[in-house]
Amino acid sequence: MLDGVFMRLGSTTPMGTTPMLRNLGIRFYQRRVAQNPYDPNGYYFLGNLYMWQGRYADSAQAYRRVVELVPDHVTSYGNLGFAYIQLQRFEEARDALESAVCLRPDHPPTLYNLGYVYGSLKNFHESVGACVRALLLNPDHDGALFLAGYGYLKIGNYSEAANHFTRYLTLRPDHQAAHHYLGLACIKLGRIAEAAEAIQKAGLLHKPSDENPEQATETPEPSRSEKQEKKGWGFQASRSLGKVLHLHEEQSARLG
């Protein structure tokens, strides 16, 4: 009976649960994997529970064990990449997310997360490529629009930068950083009137520095605290990174 209760806890988001219940779940799965170190479900659910508590190093260790036991478990690769991003271990995040994309190339949040990691490593061409792939699958993915625009700006493709920031601003019209970067792109294109309008909207007192853009964010998980957020390119790691965790709902208890 307890196994079923904690399995449901470990395979769903933490909303509606209490810290005490999650702690009980962690102890339950710690005992379970200690008794059977070849139990991928136990490590997977343990990794999820660690993740909900912001214990990213512990969650990474659990997910690494899952992919050792089940090498094609795409969700664990995605979650492992998320954990590494939070730890700012971007090379390892890249490897995990590339594995996830190889296994499931049609998942926009994972492609977006990979684009974020490439950008954190200053591989802006690769970042743009991953974000464009995400946008082909979901043209309104606001995070991918923003990061693609910033990547295009960094590699000097100002026309595409302006295009992507313009598209982004149709979704998030009050985003100061996007207005600012649109203005920079328009300056490079000689579209001075548009540049002046965009930068005026951004508010000169609030514009980000060139190396410290404000990343597009989506609705955060209610359980996430500001202390849990890490930095990648010099701005907050996107809360939409958490969406990679949604894959677990499709693969819970299917590890074989």
Which residues are CB-neighbours of 192 under 8 A, at least 6 positions away?
186
CATH, domain range 2-251:
1.25.40.10
How far, in Å, CA of 108 to CA of 243, rounded?
A: 10
Residue with tokens 């190889």: 102
Q: How crowded is the C-beta side of 34, counted as CA atoms within 13 Å?
A: 6
Backbone angles phi, psi at 180, to 5 degrees: -65, -45
- Rg (alpha carbons) of the chain, rounded to whole number: 20
How far, in Å, CA of 114 to CA of 134, rounded?
A: 10
pLDDT value at residue 9: 52
pLDDT in tens, 151-190: 999 999 999 999 999 999 999 999 999 999 999 999 999 9
What is the pTM for the complete model shown?
Answer: 0.78
pLDDT in tens, 134-143: 999 999 999 9
Domain ranges of the chain: 2-251
Can you read off the two tokens belonging to residue 112? Answer: 């977006």
Backbone angles phi, psi at 231, to 5 degrees: -110, 145
